[in-house]
Amino acid sequence: MERLNIDHNINTSDLSLKGGDILVSSPLLNDPNFRRSVVLILERDRAGGYLGLVINHPLDLTLAEICQVNDAEESIRVFCGGPVDMQRLFWIHSFGTHLNGALEVLPGLWVGGDYDLMISRLASEERIAGSARFFLGYSGWTSGQLEREIKAGAWGVLSNLLDPGLLIQENPDSLWTTLARRLGPDYKHWLMLPPDPSLN
């Protein structure tokens, strides 16, 4: 299997990433935490690093198992947001400022907000499927790290996603393919590789 070698001397000064950008991993990226992953960048920190959530890696776990929302009508899957702080719960949603403290990362897509209000929604008759997605853990990069990985070909970047609802509505098994197609012709070869490149 071909491996990606990250050159730490790569010039990254012309890369400008921001909260709301979407990362689509190269099919050759061999880190199991990010294999065929789609990552939503939430923010850039003061030190120049980034925090994001892997959107499409479901866990064998439901929200009711970790939050005691026994009144919820449906079994809500929890996703692995990344390898950092797997005891911490995150959520993205389309509820806007109805959840106090929520931050808009893309038009119509929000992160976080009042935990108790979210739990009360889960216990109500309102359906959550297609409106919210929950994650344990997050993904983090130190200053310059993510830019070097992008320059080395580990990630494609989508900015200004026009239909952010895809991130909570699309089947996680097909989300990587859906967004990899949007990267353009330079990434067409990604779609030709099998899920396990060692089989190619």
Dihedral sign computed on CA atoms, order 150, 20, 141, 85 = negative
**Tokens coding 33:** 């935490």
**Beta strand 109-111 with 84-93: parallel, antiparallel or unpaired?**
antiparallel
Q: In degrees rounded to 5, what are phi and psi of residue 75? A: -80, 115
Q: Print the domain residue range for 118.
A: 22-199
What local confidence, expressed as pLDDT, does residue 193 receive?
80
User: What is the pLDDT confidence band of residue 114, given thresholds at 50, 70 and 90?
Assistant: very high
The structure tokens 């030709």 sit at: 192
**Beta strand 84-93 with 38-44: parallel, antiparallel or unpaired?**
unpaired
In a domain, 10, yes or no: no
User: What is the pLDDT confidence band of residue 13, given thresholds at 50, 70 and 90?
Assistant: very low
Q: Which residue pairs, CB below 8 angstroms and at least 24 apart, start in 111-114?
A: 111/42, 111/53
In a domain, 17, yes or no: no
In a domain, 75, yes or no: yes
Please give the biggest Cα pair distance in the chain.
54
In a domain, 12, yes or no: no
Q: What is the percent of the chain with per-residue pLDDT over 70, rounded to a whole number?
A: 84
Q: The domain spanning residue 120 has which CATH number?
A: 3.40.1740.10
In a domain, 4, yes or no: no
Domain count, the chain: 1
User: What is the pLDDT confidence band of residue 121, given thresholds at 50, 70 and 90?
Assistant: confident
Q: In degrees rounded to 5, what are phi and psi of residue 174? A: -110, -5
In a domain, 8, yes or no: no
In a domain, 7, yes or no: no
Please state, in angstroms and rounded to a whole number, the distance separating the CA atoms of residues 31 and 35.
6
Q: What is the pTM of this model?
A: 0.87
What local confidence, expressed as pLDDT, does residue 173 receive?
93
In a domain, 189, yes or no: yes
What local confidence, expressed as pLDDT, does residue 73 receive?
52
pLDDT, tens digit, for every residue of 157-168? 999 898 999 999
**Tokens coding 137:** 């853990």
Beta carbons of 136 and 86 less than 8 angstroms apart: yes
